[in-house]
Amino acid sequence: MQLRAPDYLKQFQCLAGECPHSCCQGWEVVVDEASAAFYRTLPGPLGERLRAALQTEAGEDYFALTDTGRCPFWDMDGLCAIHRTLGPERTGEVCRSHPRFIEDYGPLRETSLVASCPEACRLLLSSHAPLTFPETETDEVGEESDTWLNPLLVVREKLFEVLQDRSRKIGFRLSELLALAAEAQILLDKDEAPLLPALCQVWTAPAPGCQMAGEGIFLRAWEVLSDLEILGDDWRALLRRGREAVPGAVPEALLERIVAYFLFRYTLKAVNDGDLLGRVQFALLGVLVVERAASLLPLGEVMRIYCREIEHNEDNIDALLLAFRTQPALSPSAFFRTLGDDAEEGLKSK
């Protein structure tokens, strides 16, 4: 099996009790079936605590949060009582893997570090170098590859090539990403995925500004985000203030890395439903929202909050993908307008 992950994955170490925004607070902790079965038979005081805290709803086991919004096993020193007493292997699967998100695509497994984690976010934004995704290989045999996987991999590599061409301003690169995704989507809609590599081979950048008619995505983007499920008051406040925000002074290299992060995490998911264009729009929405909100809060904090609110909620992601398909104010032409305005005004020339 082939394995891919961002180049900073091996640098990650959980901050544990030093974490400023612990994943043990504010989240209901889902407990996998094997862990729940073990907890239900564990003797002694900890076993009693586990059984008292374990809740079941719609066939899913979880630990309900305390009145202070904490996992009931997150002790006041910032450490986990289960981890401390039984070892990390006895914590739930979600706790063991976080902040890793793992996606299997037949013979390919990709691991990412979700940027809602403060340390994962710090690693993403701590370098100005192009973000890379080294590949290794194991003896594990994966499932058979979907016929769309290899063509989509070629498209994603082309998207990375366009994105990381630092001879051009970031606004023009992002516009080209969208244009390429739109052309690729036409082939996917026709069930002609095998033609995607040929498209990438002959692809040339469209003339700047050629698709910039109409209005941009803001203010509608703030409205759509405000209608999604909201976890924290900090995000709600940022959405209210964001309506008046203009792009912050964010280095182009960091904007590039943020887009690469989203492209890596989401574009291959089009193998399941064919929506490549929507996922590229999702990546662009992320960087455009984060860039604007960075005029109100530090970049890392904005990125962390955005990813916490959006990436951990599949309903929110699905709602955005639907909005891209159905709402003219979030259509590709609206994105082109916003990207063109930003490039023309030189707001991303830092």
At 347, the pLDDT band (50, 70, 90 cuts) reads very low
The answer to the question of residue 320 being in a domain is yes
Residues 126 and 160 in one domain: no
Q: Tell me what percent of the residues of the chain surpass a pLDDT of 90.
A: 71
CA angle 326, 329, 331 (to 5 degrees): 60
Q: How far are the Cα atoms of 5, 113, 158, 345, 348 from residue 136, in angstroms, in the given order?
A: 9, 17, 20, 42, 35
Residue 71: domain span: 24-97
pLDDT tens-place string over residues 168-177: 999 999 999 9
Q: What is the pLDDT of residues 45-97, one digit of tens each?
A: 999 999 998 999 988 999 988 888 888 888 878 788 888 898 888 888 888 88
169 and 257 assigned to the same domain: yes
Verify that 41 and 182 share a domain, yes or no.
Answer: no
pLDDT in tens, 185-239: 999 999 999 999 999 999 998 876 555 556 899 989 999 999 999 999 999 999 9
Task: Check whether 268 has a pLDDT greater than 60.
Answer: yes
**Residues, the chain, total?**
350
Whether 131 and 231 share a structural domain: no
Closest CA to 348 of 284, 305, 292: 292
Same domain, yes or no: 111 and 66: no
Burial zone of 32 (CB within 10 Å; 0-12 exposed, 13-18 middle, 19+ buried): middle
Percent of the chain with pLDDT over 70: 95
Task: Give the range among 115-124, 238-247, 289-298 with minimum mean pLDDT.
Answer: 238-247
Q: Give me the mean pLDDT over the 132-142 stretch.
A: 90
In-domain check, residue 125: yes
pLDDT band at 349 (very low <50, low <70, confident <90, very high): very low
- Chain-wide mean pLDDT for the chain? 91
pLDDT at 348: 39
277 in the same domain as 339: yes
Question: Quick one: pLDDT at residue 171?
Answer: 93
Q: Are residues 157 and 292 in the same domain?
A: yes
CA neighbor of 276 nearest in space, from 108, 120, 152: 152
- Its pTM stands at 0.90
Residue 327 has pLDDT above 80, yes or no: yes
Does a structural domain hold residue 73?
yes
Residue 256 lies in a domain: yes
> Which helix (H) or strand (E) covers residue 55, if one does?
strand 54-57
